[in-house]
Amino acid sequence: MIRYLAKRLLSLTLSLIAASLVIFAVIEVIPGDPAAFMLGLNARPEAVEALRDQMGLNDPLFLRYLSWVGGLLTGDFGTSWTYKTPVAELVSDRIWVSLPLAVYALILSTLVAFPAGILAAARRGGLGDVSIMGATQLGVAIPNFWFAMILVLVFAINLRWFPSGGFPGWDDPLAALKSLTLPAIALALPQAAILARVMRSSLLDMLSEDFIRTARAKGLSRRQALWRHAVRNALIPVLTIIGLQFAFLLAGGIIIEQVFFLPGLGRLIFQSISARDLIVVESVVMLLVFTVIVVNFTVDLAYALVDPRLRSRG
């Protein structure tokens, strides 16, 4: 186990180094001089040059890479060029929009997907199963930004039940939740559809396992067997999917945050790319990649603990 752990840790570190190199390389070639952009149309060349110096853009590439990575390791994410505030501060503000939004969407999708998946599995082949599976097909086919547009039209503009966008801050938790509701629904729809399908198929797999057959042979009805034994065991693959979805939701809300003009991480990246605020883009993308890599690592580790056979996997 220790050897396995060491091996995985080494590969984790290598992955992170590779990721940082890729991100730095991609971002360094983005055309558009950030200094010229910040000073605008009538800027004098000497003013632009002065700013480039201030921003450290005239330093050699590898020095900039080292100082960036060195900063990351010591928790210093650098200072945003456009906002002129530390990136860490920007991120810690925005994460309190993106994180709750991801959690909210995940809760909504789980609340919908679990009953739907269980019902579909229990009524396999029946009308309930067919209509739920049909609905999930539709759910994965609807582009979430289009769904968001429709939600705004109906619930914000016509019915005025929810705000059309923006985020009032957590001082008023109810208002904050209200403004995250439509975005969370838009994000949750395809996730719920996927989750319901995984839940159903994982339950059906369970139902064909030996211990369920044994339970049924002992006289439990199909539904009793489902509830008493299958659901609990089917949760493992479902939880994996939830883990993956969570990492996705954290970064993937980019378009939804745009539609609802939410000040979250996704919108921060988008704005920073158009403003050529490269230090923010670098650090936030690295943070997201770090999150995903660590989540994957943890999931792998958990599996290895549960199932020793996996440790020998290549």
| Residues in 142-161 at the binding interface with other proteins, rule: CB under 8 A | 142-143, 145-146, 149-150, 152-153, 156-157, 160
Q: Quick check: 203 and 118 in contact, CB under 8 A? A: yes
Binding flag, residue 57, other proteins (CB under 8 A): no
Q: Binder to other proteins among 70, 115, 169, 173 (CB under 8 A)? A: 169
Among residues 75 and 314, whose Cβ is nearest to other proteins? 314
Q: Binder to other proteins among 78, 100, 183, 252 (CB under 8 A)? A: 252
257 three-state secondary structure: helix
Judged by CB under 8 A, the chain residues 259 through 298 that form the site for other proteins are 259-261, 263-264, 266-271, 273-276, 281, 285, 288-289, 292-293, 296
Among residues 100 and 264, whose Cβ is nearest to other proteins? 264
**Interacting span for other proteins (CB under 8 A) from 211-219, 224-232, 240-248, 303-311:** 240-248
Binding flag, residue 40, other proteins (CB under 8 A): yes
Binding flag, residue 254, other proteins (CB under 8 A): yes
Binding flag, residue 302, other proteins (CB under 8 A): no
Binding flag, residue 236, other proteins (CB under 8 A): no
The CA distance from 296 to 53, in Å, is 40
Among residues 102 and 218, whose Cβ is nearest to other proteins? 102
Q: Binder to other proteins among 30, 61, 239, 310 (CB under 8 A)? A: 30
Among residues 50 and 310, whose Cβ is nearest to other proteins? 50
159 three-state secondary structure: coil
Please report which residue ranges of the chain form alpha helices under DSSP H: 2-28, 34-39, 45-55, 61-73, 87-122, 127-141, 144-151, 173-207, 210-217, 222-225, 231-252, 254-259, 265-274, 278-306
| Pick from 240, 199, 34: nearest CA to 112 | 199
Among residues 125 and 219, whose Cβ is nearest to other proteins? 125
Smallest distance, other proteins to C-beta of residue 127, A: 13
Binding flag, residue 138, other proteins (CB under 8 A): yes
Which residues lie below 8 Å from residue 101, measured CB to CB, with a gap of 6+? 180, 183, 184, 187, 249, 253, 257, 262, 264
Binding flag, residue 114, other proteins (CB under 8 A): no
DSSP 221: -
Binding flag, residue 165, other proteins (CB under 8 A): yes
**Interacting span for other proteins (CB under 8 A) from 60-68, 100-108, 215-223, 241-249:** 241-249
Judged by CB under 8 A, the chain residues 172 through 211 that form the site for other proteins are 194, 197-198, 200-201, 204-205, 208
Binding flag, residue 78, other proteins (CB under 8 A): no
The structure tokens 């958990």 sit at 302
**Interacting span for other proteins (CB under 8 A) from 46-54, 56-64, 103-111, 227-235:** 46-54
**Interacting span for other proteins (CB under 8 A) from 70-78, 105-113, 209-217, 249-257:** 249-257
Residue count (the chain) = 314
DSSP 310: G
Measured in whole angstroms, the distance separating CA 149 from the mean position of its chain's CA atoms is: 21
Take residue 206 and report the two structure tokens written for it: 């369970």
| Pick from 80, 195, 207, 68: nearest CA to 136 | 195
| Integer angstrom CA distances of residue 288 from 6, 11, 202, 265 | 24, 18, 29, 9
Which residues lie below 8 Å from residue 22, measured CB to CB, with a gap of 6+? none
